[in-house]
Amino acid sequence: STQEWQRADAAHFLHPFTDFQSLARKGSRIITRAEGIYLHDSEGHKILDAMSGLWCVNVGYGRQELVEAATRQLQELPFYNAFFQTATPPAIELAELLAEVTPPQFKHVFFSGSGSEGNDTVVRMVRRYWDLLGQPQRHVIISRKNAYHGSTMAGASLGGMGGMHAQGGLPIPGIVHMEQPYWHELGRGLSRDEFGRVAAGWLEAKILEVGADQVAAFIGEPVQGAGGVIVPPETYWPEIQRICDKYGILLVSDEVICGFGRTGQWFGCERFGTRPDLMTFAKGVTSGYIPLGGVMVGDRVANVLIERGGEFNHGYTYSGHPVACAVAVANIRLIQREGLVERVRDDTGPYLAECFDALRDHPLVGEVQTCGLMGAVLLVKDKASGAPFPEALELGMVCRGHCFGNGLVMRAVGDRMIIAPPLVMTRAQIDDMLVLIRRALDLTLADAQR
Ligand code: PLP
């Protein structure tokens, strides 16, 4: 029964990013199965999953092709490593396919088991790159406040979220942070485009502060996801690219959320016009059906690693796991066959933008932003000034509760309500989602006025 699950859950399972006592008090919701864009829980509720699990189930739930690919590979060869100058057909096929769907500078991939491990790989790889070029002092990586790059020591150090550094003595040495391109909070009267250039200029200021000859790389998510779907101004990324080029520092695009169609292009760097040297991926590569991550390695870095490298002392037992790679191949082929990236770019992405724009008339809504099939709605106390509600009200969490109560998963980041639904979502399903969002906003408003 649900109560038995909840009891055992609270007794034994330490959930990630969760207050253990609160979980024990309230009991977790037990998700038992899913189909398309809908989850089902142990109490018989049907829930529209506007978060694609955790930004990953891009092709929706219940896709038999992926199940069959995993089953076939489990029967044929469930595991073999890639350490002993050995490889498996699915890992090779996936490496080749990734080279096909990613921008042309990427012909090589290093596999990991997750996005966090991918970003750990990035830290080691960029430092190795500069070592091989005889510039071992060049080890500093610049990241941004409010970024999320994972939970391993290096991933959490690259990340810039308040609470994470306080636990565990982070960041590790050689990682520094600059401000994020959040116009609503930091724009100070500038137009979005003006602000984009100013915010990119903070990179140049940071490079000069650290010393240009010390800086190895800059890393950023094309759209900051877990930070609250912060869509940067169009002027931001081209200017970041120009500054990286000017100082010869490597540009790393963390595509763990933005990759595989989320923004309406295969990768977020294509949406925002950058040419990264390295690109982290995970989540959407298998649509979350099985864990897999990695780093696409551009020619600039790959040539040095391969030609001057010797052995790169880095890797994971599950680098190139054959079952995960077989699922990824099936998933990418499915995205191609169903034209999901083009569908987000030409149809559902623009439609979601229209629908979110229409939410501006709601008394609680101070700002809306979308990019492809991700979006954010900011709840404010005063629409005219954009003044926020007192933090203690935790209105985002109140709204999240009303969403859940009405059969919708929408995430709260402070008072930003965010979504990233499966890319298979139809216009009619977007309409259904908007009905649920409005209902949750109305209930939240009633609470705020109480
Ligand atoms: N990078 C970004 C942008 C992410 O959003 C995440 C996870 O949400 C990660 C890295 C870490 O990936 P994982 O949880 O697979 O380790």
* pLDDT beyond 90 at 338: yes
* Rounded Cα distance, 308 and 314, in Å: 16
Arithmetic mean of pLDDT, 400-409: 97
From the CB of 52, is ligand 1 less than 6 Å away? no
> Which CATH code for domain 36-59+339-449?
3.90.1150.10
* Residues 6 or more apart whose Cβ sits within 8 Å of residue 38: 46, 47, 48, 49, 61
Decide: 352 in ligand 1 pocket, CB within 6 A: no
Mean pLDDT, rounded, of the chain: 97
Q: How far apart are CA 247 and CA 258, in angstroms?
A: 26
Please state the pTM of the whole predicted model: 0.98
pLDDT value of residue 119: 98
For the cut 80, the answer to whether the pLDDT of residue 381 exceeds it is yes
Ligand 1: centre distance to CA 443 (Å): 32
Q: How does DSSP assign 63-107, residue by residue?
A: -HHHHHHHHHHHHH-S---SSSS---HHHHHHHHHHHHHS-TTEE
For residues 117-136, give the mean pLDDT.
Answer: 98
Query: Which residue out of 58, 117, 149 has the highest number of ligand 1 atoms within 8 Å of its CB and is therefore the one to mutate?
Result: 149
For the chain, give every domain's residue range. Answer: 36-59+339-449, 65-337
Mutation probe of ligand 1 site: the residue of 111, 148, 281, 289 with most atoms within 8 A of C-beta: 148
What is the average per-residue pLDDT within 65-88? 98
Is 363 exposed, middle or buried (CB count within 10 Å of its CB: 0-12, 13-18, 19+)? middle
Mean pLDDT of 290-296: 98
How do residues 246-284 score in pLDDT, each as one tens digit? 999 999 999 999 999 999 999 999 999 999 999 999 999
Confidence of residue 188 (pLDDT cuts 50, 70, 90): confident
When pLDDT is averaged across residues 331-360 and rounded to a whole number, the result is 98
pLDDT in tens, 164-185: 999 889 999 999 999 999 999 9
Q: What does the pLDDT average to over 81-102? A: 98
With a 6 A CB cut-off, is 293 part of the ligand 1 pocket?
Answer: yes
Pocket test for ligand 1, best of 121, 256, 316 (most atoms within 8 A of CB): 256
Q: Does residue 10 have a pLDDT over 80?
A: yes
What separation in angstroms does the CA of 228 have from each of 150, 276, 436?
Answer: 15, 23, 20
- The predicted model gives 421-439 an average pLDDT of 98
What is the pLDDT, as a whole number, of residue 218?
98
Output the pLDDT for position 162.
75
d(C-alpha 38, C-alpha 50), whole Å = 9
Confidence class for position 163, pLDDT limits 50, 70, 90: confident
| Class of the domain covering 65-337 | alpha beta
Contact 424, 340 (CB under 8 A): yes
pLDDT band, very low/low/confident/very high, at 239 (cuts 50, 70, 90): very high
| Range in 166-170, 229-233, 248-252, 429-433 the model is least confident about | 166-170
Q: Is the pLDDT of residue 450 over 90?
A: no
d(CA 339, CA 347): 11
Say if residue 322's pLDDT is above 90. yes
Whole-number Å distance, alpha carbon 189 to ligand 1 midpoint, is 33
Contact 91, 130 (CB under 8 A): no
HSE (side-chain half, CA atoms, 13 Å) at 95: 18
